Amino acid sequence: MAIVAQETKLGTFGRPVLAWGIGLLFFFPIFWLVLTSFKTDADAVKPEFLFTFAPTLENYLNMTENYDYWRFAINSVITSVFATAFALFVGIPSAYAMAFNPSRRTKDVLMWMLSTKMLPAAAVLYPMTFLTKNFLGIYDTHFLLILVLCLINLPIVIWMLFTYFKEIPKEIIEAGQMDGVNTWGEIKEILIPLAWGGIASTALLCFIFCWNEAYWTVRLTTTEAATLSKLIEGNRAPEGLFFGRLSAVSTAAVGPIVILGWFCQKQLVQGLTFGAVK
């Protein structure tokens, strides 16, 4: 029989109350953003309309007119989706080889990959601008953002895939090898169906990181490939004039991702601590 720590009366009542209080406190700014998005710009700054106001959808309906929202949103979708796909395309074979065919150097390769993630982006800002603007002519293109977003997330993707793949018994893969399936077939027919859940959560997390990225997306774009981060950054100082419409466009930019995020809390721990916390 397990001895469960007896909670004092204060504990039984205090803990839920305090926990709920803290939870609501942390969520409040998001709630406030969503609430403000249903107020007109004029109402949004008036104390008498803090919680009681006539809700309006006007901010959402005018999002295209006010901010050209969809152009930026489509850019965010394109760059995040393709960067994630590309990272998986490069990462799956690599993680597969490291998980099922490790050599003495595998550990070093993984550590080195991780270390590329620690390079401060600002340190290579100018060379990146220089190379892509003057030399390659790909500044402010989707292609460039896809490439950069893929590269900065590739270490995390490989790392996560590696930890998932390692949990698959080696015998299953070897059985496939004996049947004379080639490597590509092994990956497609055996590995991907087996590790589907892990691959999906890796993709989800990579997508979220791409969507929220705010250094390269701001510094390597001007208009053509500008994403939602760039849009919001460009409208940073409305001086209270446009709280309503700015809230609406912000809600539209973060809403889907926050909801996606709810589904990958566990993967987040693994993805961000590189398997070091279990």
Partner 1 sequence: MSNRTVSRVLQAPAVILLLIWMIVPLSMTLFFSFIRYVLSSLNRPEWTTPSISNWRGFGNYEFVLNSKDFVFAIQNSLLIVGSILFLTVTFGVLIAVLINKAFPGRGIVRVLLISPFFVMPAVNAVLWINMILDPVLGLQGLAVDGLNGLIAGMKDLPVIGWFFSQWPTLEPISFRATQTSAYAVIVMVTWQWTPFAVLIFMTSLQSEDQQQKEAAILDGAGAWSQFRFLTLPHLGRPIAIVVMIQAIFHLSLYAEIEIVSRGNGNKNLPYLIGEFANNNIGAASATGIFAVILANIIAIFLLRMVGKTLMD
Nearer to partner 1, 47 or 193 (CB): 47
Q: Which is nearer to partner 1, 4 or 54 (CB)?
A: 4
CB of 119 to partner 1, least distance (A): 7
Q: How far apart are alpha carbons 130 and 127 in whole angstroms?
A: 5
- Which is nearer to partner 1, 54 or 259 (by Cβ)? 259
Nearer Cβ to partner 1 (22/61): 22
Distance (Å, rounded) from C-alpha 136 to C-alpha 143? Answer: 11
Least separation in angstroms between residue 54's CB and partner 1 is 19
Distance CA 39, CA 270 (A): 39
- How far separated are the first and last CA of the chain, in Å rounded? 27
CB distance 81 to 260 below 8 Å: no
Q: How far apart are CA 233 and CA 269, in angstroms?
A: 28
Distance CA 198, CA 167 (A): 10
Distance of CA 250 to the CA centre of its chain: 16
Q: Which is nearer to partner 1, 194 or 260 (CB)?
A: 260
Which amino acid is it at 259?
I
Which lies closer to partner 1 via its Cβ, residue 23 or residue 197? 23
CA dihedral (265, 266, 271, 276) in degrees, to 10, reads: 130
Listed residue (133, 175, 150, 168) closest to 83, CA to CA: 150
**185: helix, coil or strand?**
helix
In the complex, the smallest distance separating the C-beta of residue 114 from partner 1, rounded to whole angstroms, is: 6
Residue 30: CB minimum distance to partner 1, A: 6
Least Å from the CB of residue 38 to partner 1 = 13
Residue 197 Cβ vs partner 1, minimum distance, rounded to whole Å: 18
> Cα–Cα distance between 75 and 208 in angstroms, integer?
14
